[in-house]
Amino acid sequence: MRTCTKSGCITAHLNDNGYCDTHQQYYQSQVSERHKRYNKDRPSRHSFYFTNTWKRLRDQYIREHPLCSHCDALGITKLATLVDHIIELQDDYSKRDDYLNLQSLCHACHNVKTGKAQQERKKNELVKGIGRDINQGW
One digit per residue, the tens of pLDDT, for the chain of length 138 reads: 899 999 999 999 999 999 999 999 999 999 999 888 877 776 667 788 889 999 999 999 999 999 999 999 999 999 999 999 999 888 898 999 999 999 999 999 999 999 999 898 888 877 666 555 555 555
Give the DSSP letter of residue 11.
-
Cα–Cα distance, 14 to 111 (Å, whole number): 33
Kindly report the number of other CB atoms within 10 A of residue 91's CB atom: 11
Cα–Cα distance, 12 to 2 (Å, whole number): 5
Q: Is 5 exposed, middle or buried (0-12, 13-18, 19+ CB in 10 A)?
A: middle
What is the three-class DSSP state of 90? coil
Give the DSSP letter of residue 132.
S
Note the pTM of the prediction, 2 decimals: 0.61
Q: For residue 82, what are the contacts with CB-CB under 8 A and spacing of at least 6? A: 104, 105, 106, 107, 110
Q: How many CA atoms within 13 Å lie on the side-chain side of 113?
A: 19
Cα–Cα distance, 15 to 135 (Å, whole number): 62
